[in-house]
């Protein structure tokens, strides 16, 4: 339920959250069509992302040489891409840095993305995936300020926040300010799941946070900085441009797919719960049109529901390519408000060979060995939740000072 918001017709007061400087305001009369959200009193309000909050970041970019970290999600509410918008405003973009899936968001998960040029603008594109997760000093040469605009979905193993870590670290080491254009987290109300143990740090889990962290990417950046999680405890000169008319109780529907295998709101909502299957012998629907909305394998009991993965956009060689998989269709399931383990537990309990169910990647995704051990021991979901309750309480207390909304 969305609470009543008081909105002034004459002006909107904005605060720039910054660890280094405050942004000046300008009068830019761009006709941006914002995302609309209705309150319980049927009052339509405008939710704008940090990219739409241009009055407060364009002055910071004027006469500067800019690097931009973005992909297909970096758009304003009128669908103009951030790169195109900045060029229209005569902002001197030097390079584009792209995360997993590439600048246009078309590469498979884990696929090698090569450097290149954007065909529309002619700008150089540097991949931040594979062997170049962290920009090298020579790639940052001549850049005065870095702009970061990526859509997160609130899960620890969604690698855009791992790219954020390395961008922050590179900016800190090379004395380059970082400007983050914040975006709503579609799962912002959920803080749940095991907290990562540092022994299992990887690109799909870099910091001791829950699997669902309940923060926007700007808030998370402030936590990385504030907790001194960067290498050698360095801190970057960070400025977060906040969203407008947004709070943590609002629903937010993503205007574009954040990655090839998250095609809709249902997939985004189920992603964290079903992604744990990627550390098992169960498919999450890659190679179908219901990615992260179904699960199944040839080793689960035959049922009325089955699917056959085939190569498609975002899955050139899907798990169980051409093989019938049995499982469940969750594409019309009720929206989840926590990390759901019931499907994972059910699949383990009914698979034909439990010894082949988990693979080593599961521990990286879970951030701990305990979850697999609990499932193998037959621990109930309620008891699993009870045992992680204190860690979640402590995390929520720690994150308070970093929240913007």
C-alpha torsion angle, residues 102, 107, 109, 111 (rounded to 10): -90
DSSP 109-132: TT-----EE-TTT--EEEE-SGGG
Is-contact 150 72, C-beta < 8 A? Answer: no
Q: Please state the CATH superfamily assignment of the domain spanning residues 17-255 in this structure.
A: Uncharacterised protein PF07075, DUF1343 (3.40.50.12170)
pLDDT of res. 110: 45
**Dist CA 247 CA 214 (whole Å):** 12
Picking from 25, 1, 29, the residue whose alpha carbon sits closest to that of residue 13 is 25
228-272 pLDDT tens trace: 999 999 999 999 999 999 999 999 999 999 999 999 999 999 999
Is-contact 285 300, C-beta < 8 A? Answer: no
Picking from 258, 235, 237, 4, the residue whose alpha carbon sits closest to that of residue 149 is 258
**Dist CA 49 CA 31 (whole Å):** 15
pLDDT of res. 38: 59
Joined together, the tokens standing for residue 319 give 């798990």
- H or E stretch at 83: helix 82-88
pLDDT of res. 118: 84
Per domain, the residue ranges of the chain are 17-255, 265-368
Q: Is the dihedral of CA 215, 220, 222, 226 positive or negative?
A: positive
pLDDT of res. 46: 84
Q: What is the pTM of this model?
A: 0.88
pLDDT along the chain (405 residues), means of 10: 36 41 37 50 81 98 98 95 97 93 54 66 90 94 98 97 98 98 98 98 98 98 98 98 96 94 97 98 98 98 98 94 98 98 98 98 98 98 96 98 98
E strand spans, 145-197: 145-149, 178-181, 192-195
């Amino acid at each position: 339920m969305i609470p009543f918001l008081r909105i002034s017709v004459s002006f909107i007061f904005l605060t720039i959250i910054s660890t280094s400087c405050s942004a000046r305001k300008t009068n830019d009369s761009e006709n941006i069509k914002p995302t609309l959200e209705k309150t319980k009193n049927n009052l339509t309000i405008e939710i704008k992302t940090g990219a739409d909050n241009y009055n407060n970041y364009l002055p910071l970019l004027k006469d500067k040489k800019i690097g931009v970290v973005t992909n297909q999600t970096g758009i304003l509410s009128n669908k103009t891409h951030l790169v195109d918008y900045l060029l229209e405003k005569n902002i001197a973009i030097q390079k584009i840095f792209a995360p997993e899936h590439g600048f246009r968001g078309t590469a498979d998960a884990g696929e090698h993305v090569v450097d290149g040029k954007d065909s529309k603008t002619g700008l150089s594109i540097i991949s931040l995936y594979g062997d170049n997760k962290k920009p090298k000093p020579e790639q940052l040469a001549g850049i005065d300020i870095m702009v970061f605009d990526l859509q997160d979905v609130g899960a620890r193993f969604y690698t855009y926040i791992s790219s954020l870590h390395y961008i922050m670290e590179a900016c800190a080491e090379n004395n380059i300010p970082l400007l983050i254009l914040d975006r709503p987290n579609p799962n912002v109300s959920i803080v749940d799941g095991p907290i990562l143990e540092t022994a299992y740090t990887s690109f799909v889990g870099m910091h001791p946070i829950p699997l669902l962290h309940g923060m926007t990417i700007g808030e998370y950046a402030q936590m990385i900085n504030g907790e001194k999680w960067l290498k050698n405890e360095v801190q970057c000169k960070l400025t977060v441009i906040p969203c407008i008319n947004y709070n943590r109780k609002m629903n937010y529907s993503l205007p574009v797919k954040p990655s090839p295998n998250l095609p809709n709101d249902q997939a985004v909502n189920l992603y964290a719960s079903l992604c744990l299957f990627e550390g098992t012998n169960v498919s999450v629907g890659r190679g179908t049109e219901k990615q992260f909305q179904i699960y199944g394998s040839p080793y689960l009991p035959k049922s009325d529901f089955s699917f056959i993965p085939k190569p498609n956009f975002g899955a050139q060689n899907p798990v169980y390519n051409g093989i019938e998989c049995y499982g469940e269709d969750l594409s019309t399931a009720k929206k989840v408000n926590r990390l759901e383990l019931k499907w994972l537990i059910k699949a383990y309990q009914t698979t034909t060979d439990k010894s082949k169910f988990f693979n080593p990647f599961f521990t990286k995704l879970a951030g701990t060995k305990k979850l697999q051990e609990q499932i193998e021991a037959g621990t109930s979901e309620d008891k699993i939740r009870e045992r992680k309750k204190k860690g979640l309480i402590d995390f929520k207390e720690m994150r308070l000072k970093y929240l913007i909304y």
